[in-house]
């Protein structure tokens, strides 16, 4: 796997600049290699918090492809893919946690490594219910992903 965080950060910035004017944000970029084939996966969400549609993915992909072709940020051949957050939704900002209140998140970072329901959000501080104990952490100190799929769009 080629998941260089420095390169992923540059790719995220490039892709986000291409899709943000269309009303999308890039949540994360990952690179995977199977044999000789490199895939760059871009996970997007809508800024208006509506569900991501196939039309959205097509529009975002076309915009980013044009920018990637212009800048040529990845050496060699690769496949550029886009997907909605789905069950692997990264939780990057306080608003992401607010949208998922009550659902379980997998949290890592510093002294934290747990999966627990999101109980509350105040500013950049998120409270999790870890076995009846409140654990409060700043969104800037952790990496988190949704650990369960919501029953409806949030």
Render 25-37 in DSSP notation, one character per residue: EEEEEEEEEETTE
The helix (H) or strand (E) run that includes residue 17 is helix 5-19
The helix (H) or strand (E) run that includes residue 2 is none
**Per-residue pLDDT at 85:** 87
Domain boundaries, the chain: 5-84, 90-146
DSSP 48: T
Q: Which CATH number fits domain 5-84: 3.40.50.970, 3.40.50.620, 1.25.40.10, 3.30.300.70?
A: 3.30.300.70
Q: Over the chain, what is the mean pLDDT?
A: 91
| pLDDT tens per residue across span 60-110 | 999 999 999 999 999 999 999 999 987 778 999 999 999 999 999 999 988
Question: Can you give the pTM of this predicted structure?
Answer: 0.79
| pLDDT tens per residue across span 62-76 | 999 999 999 999 999
Confidence of residue 2 (pLDDT cuts 50, 70, 90): very low
| pLDDT tens per residue across span 19-50 | 999 999 999 999 999 998 999 999 999 999 89
Q: Break the chain down into helix, strand, coil percent, rounded to 5.
A: 30, 40, 30
Q: Which CATH number fits domain 90-146: 2.30.30.520, 3.30.2350.10, 3.30.565.10, 3.40.50.720?
A: 2.30.30.520
Closest CA to 145 of 114, 107, 113: 107
d(CA 83, CA 113): 27
Closest CA to 4 of 106, 74, 53, 69: 74
**Per-residue pLDDT at 152:** 67
Bridge partners for 41 per DSSP: 30, 81
């Amino acid at each position: 796997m080629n998941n260089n965080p420095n390169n992923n950060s540059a790719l995220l910035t490039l892709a986000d600049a291409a899709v943000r004017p269309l009303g999308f944000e890039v949540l994360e970029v990952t690179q995977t290699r199977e044999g000789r084939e490199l895939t760059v996966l871009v996970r997007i969400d809508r800024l208006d918090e509506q569900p991501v549609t196939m039309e959205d993915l097509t529009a975002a992909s076309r915009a980013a492809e044009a920018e990637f072709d212009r800048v040529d940020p990845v050496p060699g051949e690769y496949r550029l893919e886009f997907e909605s957050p789905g069950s692997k939704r990264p939780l990057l900002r306080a608003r992401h946690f607010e949208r998922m209140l009550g659902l379980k998140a997998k949290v890592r970072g510093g002294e934290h490594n747990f999966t627990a329901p999101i109980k509350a959000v105040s500013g950049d501080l998120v409270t999790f219910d870890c076995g009846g104990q409140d654990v409060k952490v700043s969104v800037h100190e952790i990496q988190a992903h949704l650990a369960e799929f919501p029953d409806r769009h949030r």
